[in-house]
Amino acid sequence: MTKEYILEGRLSIESAIKGKSRRISRIYIDKNKKNRDTKNFEKMVNNTGIKVKRVKREVIDEMAQGKTHGGIIAKAGEKRFLSLETLINNKENPFIVMLDGIEDPYNFAYAVRSLYLAGVDGVVMNPRNWMKATSVVARASAGTTELMPMAVAENIEDAAEFFKDKGLTLACTSNRNSIPLYEADLAVPMFLLIGGEKRGITRSFLDKADTIIQIPYDREAGISLAATSAASVLAFEMMRQRKFK
C-alpha cells in the first residue's frame, strides 16, 4: 500500500500540482471557508480531476501537523525525484547545488527557497528520509520544495564525478586555498556543494574541487554563516553574475 503524507496550506498544494512533484489523492477544505481565493483554488483543483471534500475545520486540524494550514490540506504520495542526468538536460549553462548534511527540516526548506528564487536549476540531496517532515518542509519553503527539480545521490563523490564528466565546474566554500566570492566566476556551468550544520565540506571534495570560494565577512568573529544563509549569498551572487554583470 502506497503511503500518503499531508501537505498543508494552499500554496504548498498549488506548488505540488504545478510542479507535478507528487500524486495528490484528495484535498480537504474547511466547509466554512468561502472567500474568493478559496473558491478560485477549488475551481482550479476541480479542473485537474483531483477530488475535493468540504469538511469541518476540526477534521482538518486533526489531520494536520501544524496550525498554519489556513483550512486547506491534501493527502499526497511520495515526492518524485529526478535523475542527475535529467537535472541538466536541455540546460545550456546549468547551476546545480547539492545540500549535504542539513539536518533540520526548516533549514533545508529555507535553503531550497533561496536557491529556487535565485534561479538554481536543480538540487541534489542525500538519501535522507525527509518524507516524515513533508508538511513542514513544503510549508516552510513556501512550496518551493515542490517546484524545485531534485535528485538524490547516494554520496557526494558519485554526484561530483557525474557532473565533472558532464563538464561542470566543481565548487564549494572553505577558507583553505580559496578565492573571495566576488572574484569567483559563477557564470560557468557549475556544481556547488554546500555543507551542512555539523560536518561541513569533506576533505575528499575539497581536494577535487575546481573552485573553492570564501564568503568575505566585515568582522573577524571566529564564526561563519549558517548553511541557509551561505546558500542565499552564493545563489544570489550567481544570479547577479549571470543576469546583471
Comparing 4-18, 34-48, 157-171, 200-214, which segment has the lowest mean pLDDT? 200-214
For residues 91 and 71, state if they share a domain. no
pLDDT, residue 140, reads 93
The predicted structure's pLDDT at residue 43: 93
Looking at the fold, whether 149 and 201 belong to one and the same domain comes out as: yes
Residues 112 and 163 in one domain: yes
Which CATH number fits the domain that encloses residue 226?
3.40.1280.10
What's the domain count of the chain? 2
Same domain, 46 and 89: no
pLDDT for the residue 131: 62
From 40-54, 76-90, 116-130, the region with the lowest mean pLDDT: 116-130
Do 24 and 65 lie in a common domain? yes
Residues 60 and 135 in one domain: no
> What's the pLDDT at 234?
97
**C-alpha distances in Å from residue 173, one per residue of 15, 27, 104, 143, 178:** 31, 42, 20, 27, 8
My answer on whether 66 and 103 are in the same domain is no
Residues 71 and 88 in one domain: no
Higher-confidence residue of 45 and 223: namely 45
Examine the domain organization and report whether 142 and 221 are in the same domain.
yes
Q: Specify whether 100 is located in the same domain as 18.
A: no
Q: What is the pLDDT of residue 130?
A: 64
Least confident range from 90-99, 120-129, 155-164: namely 120-129
Q: For the residues 42-63, what does the mean pLDDT come to?
A: 94
Question: Of 31, 50, 76, which residue sits at a domain end?
Answer: 76
Structural domain range at position 107? 84-243
Q: Enter the pTM of the model.
A: 0.91
- Based on the domain organization, do 71 and 167 belong to the same domain? no
Same domain, 126 and 207: yes
Q: Could you report the per-residue pLDDT of 159-194, keeping only the tens digit for each?
A: 999 999 999 999 999 888 899 999 999 999 999 999
Q: Which residue has the cell 550567481?
A: 238
Strand order of the sheet with strand 24-30? 5-8, 72-76, 24-30, 51-55
What CATH number corresponds to the domain at position 52?
Answer: 3.30.1330.30
Q: What is the pLDDT of residue 198?
A: 60
Residue 65 has pLDDT above 90, yes or no: no
Domain boundary among 47, 76, 105: 76
The least confident of 10-19, 63-72, 116-125 is 63-72
Select from 5, 20, 12 the least CA-distant residue to 109: 12
Q: According to the model, what pLDDT value does residue 38 have?
A: 92
At 26, the amino acid letter reads: R
Among 120, 126, 127, 168, CA closest to 148: 120
Of 76, 102, 132, which closes a domain? 76
Distance CA 149, CA 144 (A): 10
Q: Please give the full DSSP string across the chain, using - where no structure is assigned.
A: ----EEEESHHHHHHHHHHT-S-EEEEEEETT--SHHHHHHHHHHHHHT-EEEEE-HHHHHHH-SSS-STTEEEEE-PPPPBPHHHHHTT-SS-EEEEEES---HHHHHHHHHHHHHTT--EEEE-S--GGGGHHHHHHHTTTHHHHS-EEE-SSHHHHHHHHHHTTPEEEEE-STT-EEGGGS--SS-EEEEEE-SSS-S-HHHHHH-SEEEE---SS--S----HHHHHHHHHHHHHHHHHT-
Query: Which pLDDT score, from 0 to 100, does residue 87 have?
Result: 97
